Structure 1
Amino acid sequence: MGQAVARVAVVIPAFNEEETVGDVVRVARELTPDVVVASDGSSDRTPQAAREAGAQVVELSENAGKGPALKAALEATDAEYVVMLDADLIGLTREHLEVLLRPVLAGELDMAIGVFEGGGFVTDWGNKLTPHLSGQRACRREWLLEVPRLGEERWPEPPITDHLKATEARWGYVELPQLRQVLKEKKRGFWKGVGFRTKMYADLLTYRARKKREG
């Protein structure tokens, strides 16, 4: 792992995650100094918290979505490999990052996708129900930047899934034990959280229709 660290960056799209982004950055920096947080029009202290923890921060002027933020983070590094992380993770360790990277660095997978295991019933259940929507991944940076519509879709996971199929990439799930996310209903308040989650799934469910309509 040590020889590959210099070629790895950790990229973290973040929107109003001041409470957790610093801890995620600090763990990421145990693996590599190349940690980029793209603040997606955050109105709280997300950029400051990320910088204080040691990350390079790219600030989007407005809330454009996770896809544009992810692309901005990817363009801010020239590492060969990247680990994608959500900014609201609880219980993250360096070992989780190594589990994600190992099969990619070994040439066994083109993309490793992390799924939670034992981190909490609600997040485990949601992650296992829709593992293809996981934000914890590792792959080559160049491959990810070639994903069509990556910087146009609010949620990048559907276009990434399409690109995996189109390129016949080798991908697989890896378990990330004792890791979870802060529930949207908890960090934004119940009704705002429900609204955010509803809009997220609406965007995800209409992805194919938009793609077909826009050609």
Structure 2
Amino acid sequence: MLAPPPPASALAVLIPAFNEAETVGTVVRVALELTPQVIVVSDGSTDGTAHSAREAGAQVVDLPQNAGKGAALLAAVQAATAETVVLLDADLTGLTLAHLQRLVAPVLSGDLDMSIGVFEGGGFVTDWGNKLTPHLSGQRACRRAWLLGVPDLGAERWPEPAITQHLKATGARWAYVNLPQVAQVVKEKKRGFWRGAQARTKMYAALLTYRARRRK
């Protein structure tokens, strides 16, 4: 006999966001189908991100200055009260309740300590990026207490390498979970080609040099 699902209060969805007014509301509305505890941290956004998130029904933490995704994620974790958290990027397209259930199920069942979502069939650019560096995905589910134990979580502009290193250090059980037809709005489309390409280069430079910087 299948175990009953956990109460919605046992789950929280955390969404760090910087200037994602056009997409964050859609992501929030899907997340609210999973749980009423949806927390968006507007990381010093200068557009209507915070307003869009509130209008969609999220609890919003509005940081006064842009501090990076790590600081925004830490603020979201600290604001949450649920035992299990789902991490989502604010610029997702094609997301459904079924995707969120698929992502969180192995953590809720106790089979995994963390699941990491990777895109499948959502679009060439985002599929390719996820397949090349799946460990850098922002779509995850895990226990809140475990995430709070990640060293440097709030200090890194991009926290995924710190999370990956903590997975290895703690011997956590983790696996990739395919998210069919989900994609992200690429930076080049949001900011224009050259500014977007520059932002992408800086992001990958920070992500891929994490170990070297932390050894200094």
Class of the TM-score when normalised by the shorter of the 2 chains: over 0.9
- What is the Cα deviation at residue 100 of structure 1? 0.6
Q: 2:46 aligns to what?
A: 43
Q: Does 1:69 align with 2:111?
A: no
Q: Does 1:147 align with 2:167?
A: no
Q: Give the one of 158, 163, 166 matched to 1:160.
A: 163
Q: Give the one of 87, 91, 94 matched to 1:88.
A: 91
Q: Does 1:131 align with 2:134?
A: yes
Q: Normalising by structure 2, what TM-score? A: 0.97
Q: Give the one of 173, 176, 179 matched to 1:170.
A: 173
5+ residue gaps, structure 1: none
Q: How does 1:199-210 map to 2 (within 5 A)?
A: 199-210=202-213
Q: 1:19 aligns to what?
A: 22
Q: 1:53 aligns to what?
A: 56
Q: Give the one of 76, 81, 103 matched to 1:78.
A: 81
- What is the Cα deviation at residue 59 of structure 1? 1.1
For 1:101 and 1:4, the matched residues in 2 are separated by 13
5+ residue gaps, structure 2: none
For 1:59 and 1:138, the matched residues in 2 are separated by 23
- What is the Cα deviation at residue 176 of structure 1? 0.3
- What is the Cα deviation at residue 128 of structure 1? 0.8
Q: 1:104 aligns to what?
A: 107
* Residue identity matched to 1:113: I
Q: 1:121 aligns to what?
A: 124
- What is the Cα deviation at residue 202 of structure 1? 1.4
Q: Does 1:187 align with 2:183?
A: no
Q: Give the one of 8, 12, 18 matched to 2:11.
A: 8
Q: RMSD across aligned C-alpha pairs, in angstroms? A: 0.9
Q: Normalising by structure 1, what TM-score? A: 0.97
Q: Does 1:197 align with 2:211?
A: no
Identity of aligned residues (%): 71
- What is the Cα deviation at residue 82 of structure 1? 0.2
Partner-residue secondary structure (3-state), 1:16:
coil
Partner-residue secondary structure (3-state), 1:3:
coil
Paired residues, what number?
A: 213
Q: Deviations over 1:61-98 (max 9, x none)?
A: 11111000000001111100000000000011000100
- What is the Cα deviation at residue 196 of structure 1? 0.4
For 1:4 and 1:202, the matched residues in 2 are separated by 40
For 1:68 and 1:209, the matched residues in 2 are separated by 21
Partner-residue secondary structure (3-state), 1:11:
strand
For 1:72 and 1:122, the matched residues in 2 are separated by 30
